[in-house]
Structure 1
């Protein structure tokens, strides 16, 4: 942005972090390119080798709003999102809004503009959408409480270690998921899903962006918590529905993904809760998180194999 050029308060910059996203990135970018209010699209690729960049390059050749960064390695989701946000600041004029969109999210033409209109009615807001899968089933990760590991530990680890007869994913989701309340067009929650987030660029800058100490998962919880502590509303737009094709980038590497997911949970606990907990509680939470790890890996492997056979 040149000196003296004000940001475009209504324009949206869409930031997409990709890794092995060839199966969905074409549809994702097609939809973003026709989405209302999108003035810039920044794709940051974390060293894909499945043809993702070829698809992105094709879109960039036909639309000057699309630019990309090709990382030589995979520094993680948080790093890529921060890179994209910084690059979006160079658009002329710099968009006033940032939308972080997973490559497996398929927005409707008016999705981001509707989120922006809802967010603009509040002093500051970080909003998510009503995420659903291809069959219309709602994603519980779209509406969450902030986790309280010490409380869950005291409740018998119900949300950390899978109880008998329940999968690891169901147990984890049950601990933080918030039921949809469709009577509220804008439903306040503790955290929205990082698959789709819209917020003012000024808020993102003020709170320091994503914490790059996370590699995968929990960085969205962290960002929402810091935005809330900075005074922003965290909410889900229940009438803005977006299809999220879950798990596309992670199917081939379930061990890698689950390792960094659990590492992220431990980082989150250490950052926000550990200081007010006893040594015994800290040890208990550590054990609970990592006892859950093998169950989560096993389930992820089985889920990946079942998809491969379909």
Structure 2
């Protein structure tokens, strides 16, 4: 006769945290440790984008008895958005937290974000203020769509709407056009309604795209100004600056073609294409020099 199974099972998760790793190093260990220290009913889905540093499988081995952790191996670097989509397919919680591996929210931060979500049914996506190690807020926490006319106003110092918001980031809940992709909370229902991330972005601007699509279907993007989270910024990108920069510029071009009315003008579109890829080319010597110095 088989012995009865008395193995304790965790309660159904209220939150599914999705973290994408790509040679993220020690930051990833800190992120996993902090999330799994929470008493919230949650699950952590770690998607490994073909890391070579051995950290994701080491975490899986060390925490093999913690059924809240799921490690998904993509076996090649499929890009950030596609990896999040892959992780979301494994999620069972009603809410999804998309989190960078160098972003370190505490349990109180997660509870406050979930409370905002519960209190605001028209909130399609919620972000937090991400800060450096000294507590300085990253301006990318509170963003506007990078429309061409705004970018030109910013570049030329002209009056009118600009891409940059030249005000101090507030400490209360506000509506925003876009928030930092380092930390984004949305319901699983909303994520599925949007079809997840647009997988034609490999890296960068897919968060701007997701925020824009939330607003396009009549929901709000909110910034919880009182939630401040430490963010290392760039732990996965320092090793491959040219690779990351190329995909960042590809993302900028895709966002422009997809969302900016100026893209309908062939002459403007050609000028923007030249500007984006000219900027990429000008950055390469400096990136090579900085990489050589760091080796």
TM-score scaled by length of structure 2: 0.87
Shift of residue 284, structure 1, vs aligned partner: 1.4
Alpha-carbon separation, structure 2, partners of 1:287 and 1:274: 18
Q: How has the CA–CA distance of structure 1 residues 181 and 193 changed in structure 2, closer, same or farther, with 3 Å as cutoff?
A: closer
Partner of 2:269: 282
Partner of 1:28: 31
Q: Higher Cα Rg: structure 1 or 2?
A: 2
Q: Indicate which of 232, 241, 251 corresponds to 1:264.
A: 251
Q: Indicate which of 81, 86, 91 corresponds to 2:84.
A: 81
Report the 3-state secondary structure (helix = DSSP H, G, I; strand = E; otherwise coil) of the residue aligned with 2:14. Answer: strand
Alpha-carbon separation, structure 1, partners of 2:129 and 2:187: 19
1:66 maps to 2:53: no
Q: How has the CA–CA distance of structure 1 residues 44 and 29 changed in structure 2, closer, same or farther, with 3 Å as cutoff?
A: same
Which runs of structure 2 are paired with 1:125-274 in the superposition (5 Å)? 125=123, 126-153=125-152, 155=153, 157-158=155-156, 175-177=163-165, 179-182=167-170, 185-273=172-260
Partner of 1:113: 111
Alpha-carbon separation, structure 1, partners of 2:262 and 2:145: 17
Check whether the contact 1:143–1:180 (CA below 8 A) recurs between aligned residues: no
Alpha-carbon separation, structure 2, partners of 1:222 and 1:197: 13
Structure 1 unaligned segments of length 5 or more: list them. Answer: 1-7, 89-93, 160-173
Q: Which moved more, 1:241-250 or 1:35-44?
A: 35-44
Between the two proteins, the alignment pairs up a number of residues equal to: 279
Structure 2 unaligned segments of length 5 or more: list them. Answer: 1-11
Check whether the contact 2:145–2:163 (CA below 8 A) recurs between aligned residues: no
Check whether the contact 2:150–2:163 (CA below 8 A) recurs between aligned residues: no
Aligned structure 1 segments of 4 or more residues deviating by more than 4 angstroms: 156-159, 298-306
Alpha-carbon separation, structure 1, partners of 2:262 and 2:50: 37
